[in-house]
Amino acid sequence: MKRFDRFLYGFLPGIVLPVVFMWVYLDRFYPGDFTFWEIIKQIYPSALLGKLLLLSVMPNLAFVFVFYKSDSFKIAKGMMVSAMPYFIGSIMML
């Protein structure tokens, strides 16, 4: 279990960070008085959600770059693996 400790330090924040970034982005820049889930329901069938998913993964990639440059390869690998479902989902929606 010890060898997975650093991987989990990257994986768990990597799963949560895009959702938090998407929430902050929609809360700040989406016009209207809708909640987060109502906005997601409105843009779900369109390609706009795929583009939003790609945009929300950008903080993950920035952290991957920072951890890779600081020689924390397992944390960077965890962040990259956690970004894969978002990449696959965005490709399916485009």
Residues ≥6 apart with Cβ < 8 Å to 55:
21, 22, 25
Count of structural domains within the chain: 1
pTM above 0.85? no
Q: Residue 75's pLDDT is what?
A: 87
Three-state SS at 45: coil
Q: Is residue 2 very low, low, confident or very high in pLDDT (cuts 50, 70, 90)?
A: low
Q: Residue 8's pLDDT is what?
A: 85
pLDDT per position as a tens digit, 24-71: 998 888 888 888 899 888 888 888 888 999 999 999 999 889 888 888
Residue 34: which domain range? 2-93
